[in-house]
Amino acid sequence: MTFSDPPTRTEQLLPALAWLRRYRPSDLRGDLVAGLTVAVMLIPQGMAYALLAGLPPVVGLYASTLPLIVYALFGSSRQLAVGPVAIVSLLTLTGVSAVAEAGTAGFILYAALLALMVGAAQLLLGVLRGGFITNFLSHAVVSGFTSAAAVVIALSQLKDLLGIRLENTHSVPLLLWEAATRLGETNPASLTLGAVSIALLLLGRRFAPRLPVPLGVVVLATLATYALGLEDYGLRIVGEVPSGLPQLTLPPFDGAALVNLLPAALTIAFVGFMESFAVAKSIAARERYPLDANAELRALGLANLVAGLFSAYPVTGGFSRTAVNYQAGARTGLASLLTALLVLLTLLFFTPLFYYLPNAALAAIVVVAVVGLVDLKEPRHLFRVRPIDGWTLLVTFAATLLIGIEQGILIGVAFSLLVYVWRSAYPHTAVVGYLESEGVFRNVKRFPQVRLFPGTIIIREDAALYFANMGFLEAFVDRTLREHPDAKRLLFDFSGVNDVDAVALDTLRELMATLEEIGIEVHLAGMKGPVRDLVARAAWPERFRARAAHLSLEHALRAFGETLSPAPDAPTGARAALERR
Amino acid sequence: MTFSDPPTRTEQLLPALAWLRRYRPSDLRGDLVAGLTVAVMLIPQGMAYALLAGLPPVVGLYASTLPLIVYALFGSSRQLAVGPVAIVSLLTLTGVSAVAEAGTAGFILYAALLALMVGAAQLLLGVLRGGFITNFLSHAVVSGFTSAAAVVIALSQLKDLLGIRLENTHSVPLLLWEAATRLGETNPASLTLGAVSIALLLLGRRFAPRLPVPLGVVVLATLATYALGLEDYGLRIVGEVPSGLPQLTLPPFDGAALVNLLPAALTIAFVGFMESFAVAKSIAARERYPLDANAELRALGLANLVAGLFSAYPVTGGFSRTAVNYQAGARTGLASLLTALLVLLTLLFFTPLFYYLPNAALAAIVVVAVVGLVDLKEPRHLFRVRPIDGWTLLVTFAATLLIGIEQGILIGVAFSLLVYVWRSAYPHTAVVGYLESEGVFRNVKRFPQVRLFPGTIIIREDAALYFANMGFLEAFVDRTLREHPDAKRLLFDFSGVNDVDAVALDTLRELMATLEEIGIEVHLAGMKGPVRDLVARAAWPERFRARAAHLSLEHALRAFGETLSPAPDAPTGARAALERR
């Protein structure tokens, strides 16, 4: 196996140096083709996602310029395609709606402020090396959230596809109800153009995945609108798109807005990073170059800071565009630099071409892009393997859909952690006996033929012990002793106890003391080193400590005077390490 | 070992039948002495705790009658002394203060409503067999909470000990500040009587622990107040205590009050049960009779329902009175029945005697009772054994003291669970080698002499794998592979992996697939039965499944063509099961 050399110190700060220094002429062709391909995809998507976020289309183009350049210079992924993405656009819409009305000038300014906050949060988290926090977002939660968000996004496009007004954009049930009552107001031109666009996009994706079908749809829809004068039939069009480069603008820093935008900023910082890092990681693994979560956070943070300063809105690495970039042959960040350059040229010279572009075509692009995000395989898979993980996905999905987009992911995280804590409170615990044919100890319920030792009950505990599962263990001991009124000794196999907390340790000592009073000795065998260190510090009475020092069940039983004769034909060494159930 | 017989079905419903049927004449003396002793202790304490709760002293006496009888009939502990206790009284004060002002008639009614709610919550939890929920209250949290509550309670008595007015009873810093500024208004009679009472109580506890010193203090203080006319010097006295039995009164059910009392009701239901069950459990263990958490919840629930219906306030099993009851010789619930009878007689005939009883003497009783609840040994112990558990205690203590009594315990529970989740995200993981002298695999960092196998890296994972620690594992693998660029195989020892969730399973499969692409085979050895069941359901590719099926590290290594020769002098069987660090 060969990984590339580890980066130098300078290259860690400015990863672009790593690929610039080693740039090979053979990389150039792939970078050029990929840069062009992504630009052709990004220009319509950028405008469409900006509309989804409640912003003028040009903001989506701004977000497709400088942030890409910053990421290409500072990011450690060489194929990640940064820019506006669907879910972050939706989160921007719901977040900024808390402080301004969509479509107003204030909304645009606060969207830029939101990007600044996202950037600051990501940069700070990266500098503090806090990237591990994203480990607490279970894939089940991300999957449920993404599917629900895709549904919300698709529904939010109904207004442009049907050419009707919809006020309730935040509550799915209300939105559906409103759409149903206003179905009669549907604009035929919008519906036709939207439906044709969706059909073309789906056909293109199916039969010509390498062609720039979205651009084709944009061109055709614009020409049709212009030629047939569809504007006069009530079709909403993009209208004037200001030309020129994005300008440096400081967003308004007002305290109340900062507080109200904070939940959205943190959600976007996390969710955006998760989406981006997942796709960057899978490509880095294939291409065998290292990817550091904290470096990625810092690079995305800088990209978002620049987005905020230059009149754009939050960005992140997108799933589908990154895949296209990689498949089109991108070798280095040069591809993204080229993409940004092409968008800048578009902003300078081609914006008048978008005047007759109908919103319905952009809505069609959004709908087709997000339909693929609804993942039905994952819940089926999770329910089959471990139903509780499927429920985590479903709870997140339902909460995101019915309660809200930001609350949904929080509820999902809380639920997934509670599931873990809950399960840990009911650990697998078994009474075991000696399986003489194999020379190992096994669960008496699964292996009724095991040898038992008169007066001694052996209990195997398969869990880290902590305050929440000691009640379970005590109840298990209580029940077991009731079933074996002749027991004189309780022998615990601690080889599966990976950790113990101080409270559990005290409970254990109390258990030893209480049972001693009624004539039962408790012994502990096979304790791991770190656990033994804790017992030493807990200052147990000398006799308890001696009873906890058995190296293994075999050692303990020999000390009790039992003889263990392993089967003569079992292979030495391998025998006793047979897996335990 | 001998446990008593398991209870019959009828006895499970009415546990009093169990001890009534088997009542031995030899039990009678102990029950009589204990019942009398506890009554003598309970009468002053009941009045004192009622004052602490912001209620007239007679309410504390009411709470010491019917609830005791109900618990004696339905409870499964034979020595538990139910009644008003300090911490529940404090929680009642803060809880009911949210809906009424202390000292008003409304306050008394809402305190009874609170008792009804506590009773309903406990009964419901017991019927639904939800007693396990209390497992999630770590002892570290309970200890920190109890110590802080004791401090708050002691400070709340300052007003009666100094004879001043204090308005801020809920915030400790504000209360201290107010007391400091009003120190000049101290009433000399209150201060003197309070100080002498405290001194007598402390001396009595030290030198005459078997004498009813609190009753003595009450008698002496009452006589002194009457004889010296201390009332005229500004000493606050209990005044008229209505005589007669507690009356059946339905508390006011108004919706807003129910909502506002709910947090307090749930907190009291949990905390009260915890305190009660802890002491009942320790005595039941010594006396070798079974105690069921759900039965206890139901019995305490009934006791609180009766408290709510008969003009009392929330009760639970108290720590110190139960200890006194047990040490005085209580054998059955008859002791508690006698206690209740004596309090009823007091209510009928002796209430006029309390007219000149000074509040300062009752405050002294409260202070001396709760001083013992401040536990300094536990934090020292926890910090020595496992510092993070000490922090759990400290965080709970500080939050209870500074933020609030109900918030404190919630913050403690959340913190303790986060600590557990946090640690589980960073499990112990080690590269291991074969220790030939012992025939076992050990950590290469602890045992540098272990034998390594060219091209094969063995990693032992000591944790249940789930979404939050897979990032850690992946990073560990990444680092390890970088340190061993010649690796061809990665062999995981799964014998310490007690559980795996579906997300971790997918990540594992992706890891296997990604590493395979770069020429590294991943093998898993020693998987436990339940984990293997999950892998089977996850539908891994056939070759991955084969690589995950090694029974043990030894089996896997032999399959790779290695020969493992254990040291000839190691004892067979015992050797391979030596404890692992």
Give the model confidence (pLDDT) of B352-366 as tens digits.
999 999 999 999 988
**Alpha-carbon separation of residue B239 from B160, B226, B227, B236 (angstroms):** 14, 12, 15, 9
Chain A residue closest to B575 (CA)? A573
Query: CA-CA distance, B330 to B72, in Å (whole number)?
Result: 12
B506 — phi, psi (to 5°)? -65, -45
Please report how the helices A405-424 and A255-287 are oriented relative to each other, as an axis angle in degrees rounded to 10: 60
In the predicted model, what is the mean pLDDT of chain B?
88
Contact state of B530 with A581 under an 8 Å Cβ cutoff: yes
Q: Model-level pTM?
A: 0.78
Neighbours of A115 (CB within 10 A): 30
What is the least distance, in Å, from the CA of A171 to any CA of chain B?
27
- Contact present, A100 and A252 (Cβ < 8 Å): no
A125 pLDDT exceeds 70?
Answer: yes
Contact state of A505 with B572 under an 8 Å Cβ cutoff: no
Instruction: Report pLDDT digits (tens) over A376-408.
Output: 999 999 999 899 999 999 999 999 999 888 888
Q: Tokens representing A334?
A: 């040069």
SS3 percent helix, strand, coil of chain A, rounded to 5, is 65, 5, 30
| Residue A459 bridge partners (DSSP) | A431, A492
User: What does the pLDDT read at residue B166?
Assistant: 82
Instruction: Report pLDDT digits (tens) over B285-343.
Output: 778 777 888 999 999 999 999 999 999 999 999 888 998 899 888 999 999 999 999 99
Query: CA-CA distance, A118 to B464, in Å (whole number)?
Result: 34
User: What does the pLDDT read at residue A575?
Assistant: 39
**Helix (H) and strand (E) counts for chain B?**
25, 7
Which ranges of B251-386 does DSSP label H, i.e. alpha helix?
Answer: 255-287, 293-309, 319-327, 334-345, 359-371, 377-385
Query: Average pLDDT, stretch B244-269?
Result: 91
Contact state of A577 with B526 under an 8 Å Cβ cutoff: yes
Please report how the helices B105-127 and B86-97 are oriented relative to each other, as an axis angle in degrees rounded to 10: 120
User: What does the pLDDT read at residue A284?
Assistant: 82
Contact state of B518 with A136 under an 8 Å Cβ cutoff: no
What share of chain B has pLDDT > 90, as a percent? Answer: 46
**Alpha-carbon separation of residue A99 from A96, A110, A112, B84 (angstroms):** 6, 8, 13, 51
Query: Average pLDDT, stretch A80-94?
Result: 94
A529 pLDDT exceeds 80?
Answer: no
The complex scores an ipTM of 0.73
A interface test, pick of B292, B579, B580, B581 with most A CB neighbours within 10 Å: B579
**Residues 6 or more apart whose Cβ sits within 8 Å of residue A346:** A43, A61
Contact state of A136 with B469 under an 8 Å Cβ cutoff: no
3-class DSSP assignment, residue A553: helix
Question: Which helix or strand (DSSP H or E) is residue A34 part of?
Answer: helix A25-52
pLDDT-derived band at B90 (thresholds 50, 70, 90) equals very high
User: What does the pLDDT read at residue A103?
Assistant: 83
**Residues 6 or more apart whose Cβ sits within 8 Å of residue B87:** B146, B149, B150, B153, B271, B272, B275, B373
Least confident of A5-14, B114-123, B251-260, B561-570: B561-570
Instruction: Report pLDDT digits (tens) over B171-229.
Output: 788 888 888 888 888 999 999 999 999 999 999 988 888 788 888 999 999 999 999 98
User: What does the pLDDT read at residue A533?
Assistant: 86
Q: Tokens representing B29?
A: 């003396």
Ordered by where they begin, the domains of chain B are: 26-417 (no CATH), 427-577 (3.30.750.24)
Q: Tokens representing B363?
A: 């405050």
In the predicted model, what is the mean pLDDT of chain A?
88
Contact state of A502 with B421 under an 8 Å Cβ cutoff: no
- Contact present, A495 and A528 (Cβ < 8 Å): yes
pLDDT-derived band at A350 (thresholds 50, 70, 90) equals very high
User: What does the pLDDT read at residue B7?
Assistant: 63
- Contact present, A453 and A447 (Cβ < 8 Å): no
Residue of A83, A75, A134, A77 lying closest to A299 (CA atoms):
A75
B2 pLDDT exceeds 80?
Answer: no
Query: CA-CA distance, B71 to B93, in Å (whole number)?
Result: 24
User: What does the pLDDT read at residue B169?
Assistant: 66
pLDDT-derived band at B536 (thresholds 50, 70, 90) equals confident
Query: CA-CA distance, A201 to A360, in Å (whole number)?
Result: 13
Query: CA-CA distance, B465 to B524, in Å (whole number)?
Result: 13
Q: Which of A468, A537, A553 sits opposite B136 (nearest CB)?
A: A468
DSSP A81-114: -EE--HHHHHHHHHHHHTTS-TTSHHHHHHHHHH
A568 pLDDT exceeds 90?
Answer: no
**Residues 6 or more apart whose Cβ sits within 8 Å of residue A78:** A19, A287, A289, A330, A331, A332, A333
Question: Scanning the structure block, which residue is given the tokens 């040291």?
Answer: B567
Which ranges of B518-578 does DSSP label H, i.e. alpha helix?
Answer: 529-537, 542-547, 553-559
CB contacts < 8 A, A to B, total 270
Question: Which helix or strand (DSSP H or E) is residue A381 part of?
Answer: helix A377-385
User: What does the pLDDT read at residue A5?
Assistant: 57
Query: CA-CA distance, A425 to A507, in Å (whole number)?
Result: 15
User: What does the pLDDT read at residue B15?
Assistant: 81
Query: Average pLDDT, stretch A414-442?
Result: 86
What is the least distance, in Å, from the CA of B140 to any CA of chain A?
7
Residue of A445, A423, A412, A459 lying closest to A556 (CA atoms):
A459
pLDDT-derived band at B3 (thresholds 50, 70, 90) equals very low
B571 pLDDT exceeds 70?
Answer: no
Query: CA-CA distance, B169 to B153, in Å (whole number)?
Result: 10
Query: How do A316-317 and B428-435 pair as beta strands?
Result: unpaired
Contacts A555 to B, Cβ<8 Å: 574
| Cα dihedral across residues A276, A279, A283, A286: positive or negative | positive
A456 pLDDT exceeds 60?
Answer: yes
Query: CA-CA distance, B146 to B135, in Å (whole number)?
Result: 17
The string over A495-529, giving b where at least 16 C-beta atoms fall within 10 Å of a residue's C-beta and e elsewhere, is: bbbbbbbbbbbbbbbebbebbeeeebbbbbbbbbe
Question: Which helix or strand (DSSP H or E) is residue B456 part of?
Answer: strand B456-462
Q: Tokens representing B398?
A: 């500080």
A223 pLDDT exceeds 70?
Answer: yes
Contact state of B421 with A416 under an 8 Å Cβ cutoff: no
User: What does the pLDDT read at residue A7?
Assistant: 63
pLDDT-derived band at B6 (thresholds 50, 70, 90) equals low
| Residue B317 bridge partners (DSSP) | B82
Contacts A539 to B, Cβ<8 Å: 384
A167 pLDDT exceeds 80?
Answer: no
What share of chain B has pLDDT > 70, as a percent? Answer: 95
3-class DSSP assignment, residue B439: coil
Cα B571 versus chain centre, distance: 46
- Contact present, B472 and B425 (Cβ < 8 Å): yes
Query: Average pLDDT, stretch A431-448?
Result: 83
A171 pLDDT exceeds 90?
Answer: no
Instruction: Report pLDDT digits (tens) over A64-77.
Output: 999 999 999 999 89
3-class DSSP assignment, residue B521: strand
More confident residue, B249 or B5: B249
**Alpha-carbon separation of residue A427 from A24, A192, A416, B142 (angstroms):** 56, 59, 17, 23
B241 pLDDT exceeds 70?
Answer: yes
Instruction: Report pLDDT digits (tens) over B127-164.
Output: 998 888 878 888 899 899 989 989 988 998 898 999 88
What is the least distance, in Å, from the CA of A292 to any CA of chain B?
9
User: What does the pLDDT read at residue B5?
Assistant: 57
Contact state of B498 with A495 under an 8 Å Cβ cutoff: no
Instruction: Report pLDDT digits (tens) over A467-483.
Output: 888 888 988 998 899 88
- Contact present, A570 and A439 (Cβ < 8 Å): yes
User: What does the pLDDT read at residue B577?
Assistant: 40
User: What does the pLDDT read at residue A169?
Assistant: 66
- Contact present, A82 and A272 (Cβ < 8 Å): no
